[in-house]
Amino acid sequence: MTPEQSCREAFVEASSFLEKCGVYEPHNNARLLLEHVLGVYGAQYYMMQPEPFPSGLRNRWEDAVTRKAAGEPAQYIIGSQEFYGLPFEVTPAVLIPRPETELLVEAVLRAADRVFASAGGAVRAVDIGTGSGAIAVTMASLRPQWQVSAGDLSADALHVAARNAAANGVQIDFREGDLLAPFAGERLDILVSNPPYIPAGDIAGLQQEVRDHEPRLALDGGPDGLAPYRIMVEQLNLLPAPPQIVGFELGMGQAHDVAALLESAGHWPEIIIVPDLAGIERHVLGVRPSEQVTKM
């Protein structure tokens, strides 16, 4: 980096360097890092392009670009990721929230507005495998009348999620434990989960950013990737009754297996498969109208 380099020139140089290093979406990553280092966004970012790069930020900028070139996700370098318009702290203890998960939240909210139209504030929703808390915090933010809980096997992830709940001004009951186990004996109206769903044998072939930096606990779904779904369906017997809405995110090619799993459980007359924006069947919902009661 030359002493008189402009912010625009720093961006171009970093983009080219990241591209040569094989970084996916080098231009987008360079922009994310430059915005973070400069502390400017939107119109301010563009206005600063012709300005000389601040000399006091050179070391920080070069460190960020070097880390990115080595495969570290930009979100971990920056320490944050936006989800549904809300800011979330992310660390290597949690999976980075993905845009497609926003569609799961939307699908669950649509179903809930239909099923619980007259329930008022009595709806109890739980997010299993909450990670950064993205799903739970978003539900609590968009439906403040709900009672929202969240669980995770990782204590470190729960610390991150709790900070995100506080930063976004919502109250969430966080529990540490294996999937539904921390909620044994409690009534749950809505169960939402984006669990680990990558088949264990496929993890070695994942993109470097994911394979080497995101927590394996949040990736490994067992031999075929479906272990967490089977366990959660089995754990339903820990509850007084099955939730009226279940919403799962899953991997490519898993939708019909998970849909069949929910159908065979016999608790939800409506099984809905929701594609993501790329047309991949990404989410499966089980829905039971309020007038239908299922006994365990």
Q: Cα(136)–Cα(131) distance, rounded to whole angstroms?
A: 10
| Residue 109 · residue 139 · CB < 8 Å | yes
Q: Cα(125)–Cα(146) distance, rounded to whole angstroms?
A: 7
221 labeled part of a ligand binding site: no
Q: Cα(196)–Cα(241) distance, rounded to whole angstroms?
A: 25
129 labeled part of a ligand binding site: yes
132 labeled part of a ligand binding site: yes
Q: Cα(74)–Cα(269) distance, rounded to whole angstroms?
A: 42
* Alpha-carbon separation of residue 104 from 12, 32, 54, 92, 277 (angstroms): 36, 25, 42, 23, 12
* CB-based contacts of 237, cutoff 8 Å, min separation 6: 296
Neighbours of 121 (CB within 10 A): 10
194 labeled part of a ligand binding site: yes
130 labeled part of a ligand binding site: yes
168 labeled part of a ligand binding site: no
Place of tokens 């989410």: 283
Q: Cα(289)–Cα(267) distance, rounded to whole angstroms?
A: 11
152 labeled part of a ligand binding site: yes
50 labeled part of a ligand binding site: no
242 labeled part of a ligand binding site: no
131 labeled part of a ligand binding site: yes
Closest CA to 171 of 197, 140, 196: 140
Q: Which residues are annotated as a binding site?
A: 129-133, 152, 194-197
Q: Which residues are annotated as a binding site for S-adenosyl-L-methionine?
A: 129-133, 152, 194
Q: Which residues are annotated as a binding site for substrate?
A: 194-197
